[in-house]
Amino acid sequence: MSDRVAAVPVLTIDGPGGAGKGTISSLVAERLGWHLLDSGALYRLTAQAALKHSVAVDDEAGLARLAEQLDVAFPVEEGQPRTLLEGEDVGQQIRTEQAGERASQVAALPAVRQALLQRQRDFCQAPGLVADGRDMGTVVFPDAPLKIFLTASADERARRRYLQLQEAGVDASLSSLLKEIQARDARDTQRSVAPLKPADDAITLDTTRLSIPEVVDRLTELLAQRGLVSGV
């Protein structure tokens, strides 16, 4: 894995839910023409597969088997990315708050994380990779030349999610969203395997008061400063 990362530049973007990792990662990847790994989608898809096949979220062995055999695809059709699970488009289903909660429970299981480890590393392909998740810099790509830990206050992350749901026409309670975010943060930071934390050599970037374009510009500047990209 180290040889591949040495040959292919990898930018890891870790952080808690709602910090903007997904949006920022996709925009940086698009600007650079790099590949994108949304590791959270793999855990959400595993949780969705468990729901589909009636596997309990605490059945670690059963979930690990599902993860190893996960039939997923991320085709782009007419410029729009799709998320397929066993041929079915589940892009909207896996982005609900309930799906995120199940994914967080699944991700806390060591056997599931191990089952998905190599699948995540296989996304490292030329010309480069932006890897979005919670343990990209600490576990999956520990040799990545640039690691970012993206964060924001829990209040701000809840507010952003509330606005997203409102725009989508979904009723939501801001106080409930804040409690869910705080509970997920606690579970992610306290789990025994690959807990959520910055890598020792990561740069922490608080996005609470930053716009999306400002964060994208900052990350591309950091990549350029390290000689990983040019002309951006």
Binding-site residues from annotation for ATP: 15-23
Per-residue pLDDT tens over the stretch 126-183: 999 999 999 999 999 999 999 999 999 999 999 998 998 888 888 889 999 999 999 9
Residues 60-116: tens digit of each pLDDT: 999 999 999 999 888 766 656 788 999 999 988 998 878 988 998 998 899 999 999
Residue spans per domain, the chain: 2-221
Residue 3 reports pLDDT greater than 70? no
For residue 76, the model assigns a pLDDT of 62
- Whether the pLDDT of residue 8 is over 70: the answer is yes
Q: What is the token pair recorded at 56?
A: 């309990």
| CATH ID of 2-221, from 3.30.70.600, 3.40.50.300, 2.160.10.10, 3.30.540.10 | 3.40.50.300
Q: What is the CA radius of gyration of the chain?
A: 17
Q: Binding site: what residues are annotated?
A: 15-23
Judge whether residue 12 has pLDDT over 80: yes
Residue 222: predicted pLDDT? 97
Do the bridges between strand 129-133 and strand 35-38 make them parallel or antiparallel, or are there none, so unpaired? parallel
Over the chain, what is the mean pLDDT?
90
Cα atoms found within 13 Å of the Cα of residue 229, Cβ hemisphere only: 23
**Percent of the chain topping pLDDT 90:** 67
